[in-house]
Amino acid sequence: MVNEKQLKEEVKKIVSRDDVKYVIGYEKGTYGFQAAPSFAFTPEEADKFIFSPLCVNNLAVYLMLEEKLPLHKNEKEDTRKIGLIVKGCDSRAVVQIIQERGLKREEVVLIGIPCRGIIDPKKINAKFPNQMKNVDVNEDGEKFLIKVDGATHNIPKDELLFEKCKHCENPNPVIYDMLIGKEVKTLKKENYDDIKSLEKKSLKEKWEYWEKQFEKCIRCYACRNACPMCYCKECMVDQLSPQWIRRSVNLSENTVWNIMRAYHLAGRCIGCGECERACPMDIPLTKLNKKIEKDVKEMFDYMPGMDAEEKPLLAMFKPDDPEEFIL
Which spans of this chain sit near another protein (rule: CB under 8 A)? 198-199, 203-211, 236, 244, 246-248, 250-253, 255-256, 259-260, 262-263, 266-267, 288, 291-292, 295-296, 299-300, 313-315, 317, 319, 321-323, 325-327
Residue 289 beta carbon to another protein: minimum distance, rounded to whole angstroms: 10
State the CB neighbour count (10 A cutoff) for residue 187: 5
Question: Cis before residue 37, ω within 30 degrees of 0?
Answer: no
Task: Return the number of the residue (16 or 252) whose C-beta is nearest another protein.
Answer: 252
Residue 291 beta carbon to another protein: minimum distance, rounded to whole angstroms: 5
Rounded-to-integer distance, Cα 312 and Cα 264, Å: 12
Instruction: Give the distance from CA 245 to its chain's centroid.
Output: 25
Task: Return the number of the residue (72 or 200) whose C-beta is nearest another protein.
Answer: 200
Closest CA to 7 of 57, 56, 52: 52
State the CB neighbour count (10 A cutoff) for residue 243: 11
Residue 35 φ then ψ, to 5°: -135, 135
Rounded-to-integer distance, Cα 284 and Cα 305, Å: 22
Residues in contact with 194: Cβ distance below 8 Å, sequence separation at least 6, in sequence order: 287, 290
Task: Return the number of the residue (124 or 283) whose C-beta is nearest another protein.
Answer: 283
Residue 164 beta carbon to another protein: minimum distance, rounded to whole angstroms: 18
Residue 290 beta carbon to another protein: minimum distance, rounded to whole angstroms: 10
Task: Return the number of the residue (75 or 320) whose C-beta is nearest another protein.
Answer: 320
DSSP string, 199-232: HHS-HHHHHHHHHHHHHH-----HHHHH-TT---
Rounded-to-integer distance, Cα 294 and Cα 192, Å: 7
Residue 240 beta carbon to another protein: minimum distance, rounded to whole angstroms: 13
Half-sphere exposure of 285 (CA within 13 A, CB side): 31
Task: Return the number of the residue (17 or 196) whose C-beta is nearest another protein.
Answer: 196
Residue 206 beta carbon to another protein: minimum distance, rounded to whole angstroms: 4
Residue 327 beta carbon to another protein: minimum distance, rounded to whole angstroms: 4
Residue 272 beta carbon to another protein: minimum distance, rounded to whole angstroms: 20
Task: Return the number of the residue (179 or 256) whose C-beta is nearest another protein.
Answer: 256
Residues in contact with 254: Cβ distance below 8 Å, sequence separation at least 6, in sequence order: 214, 215, 217, 219
Residue 305 vs residues 23, 249, 268, 322: alpha-carbon distances, Å:
22, 33, 7, 23
Q: Under a CB-based contact definition with an 8 Å cutoff, are residues 137 and 33 in contact?
A: yes
Task: Return the number of the residue (31 or 317) whose C-beta is nearest another protein.
Answer: 317
Task: Return the number of the residue (9 or 295) whose C-beta is nearest another protein.
Answer: 295
